[in-house]
Amino acid sequence: IFIISPSIKNTFTAPPVLKFVVTGIFETGLSAIDGGLCYISTKSAQKLFRMKGKVNRISLIVDNPDNATSISNVINDKLPFPYLTRSWIEENKNLYFWIAMEKLMMTFVLSLIVLIAAFNIISSLIMLVMEKRREIGVLTAVGFSPDKVMRVFMYQGMILGVIGTVLGVILGLLVCFIQKEFSIITLPGDVYIIDALPILVDSTDVLVSVAVSMGLSYLATLYPSYRASKLKPVDVIRND
């Protein structure tokens, strides 16, 4: 094949053209890379770009990719101007920005779902209090203190929260298992390096989700339980 230097744009001289022999083909799965990347020797590249004895970039591979930025900063501090270093994270900062934005939006959407569930608990308990006004009045009349009445409805609300949380965790883990084993949700191979949505179950995330759900369930029981404890037995029985 013949490769014309893409960086030489002087109209008065013809750009360098070199002939190469293809010795191998590789595939990353990303069309942006597979459609325009090839490897040639350093000497051939210097000749093609008219940079005899020079290079414009040196790539380093570190043992831990997560340390690339810190290592890049250390090297950058030791290099004189105009040389600089950039980690692979900085090279792909736009991609990481959109990944972070997507994660933020997912967190926002899931938070709305949890809040809606909490309001459902509140409305359910308020309706239960309204339906059980007579029973609450009878219990108070026979000696139930307001604190005990409040605890009854708090326990009932927490039971609803526990049932919903347990079912949600089981369903979520089941969906993750199905996706991990059978790859139901696929991704276009010419855009992404993977062909299916990856799944990683983090025990910390699961525990945090359970804790937040239980905490909101507890908070959701406070107002309806408080209303139930403030019902006057005489007024309730008289009105019913």
pLDDT digits (tens, 9 = 90+) for 128-176: 888 888 888 888 888 888 899 899 989 988 998 999 999 999 999 999 9
Least confident of 81-85, 119-123, 194-198: 194-198
What pLDDT sits at residue 238? 65
Strand partners, 154: none
| Cβ(192)–Cβ(28) below 8 Å | no
What pLDDT sits at residue 235? 67
Quick: pLDDT tens for 33-82: 777 788 899 998 888 888 888 888 888 999 998 899 899 999 999 988 88
Threshold 0.85, pTM exceeds:
no
Structure tokens at 138: 């009878």
Give one DSSP letter per residue of 142-193, joined into a string.
TT--HHHHHHHHHHHHHHHHHHHHHHHHHHHHHHHHHHHHH--SB--TTTSS
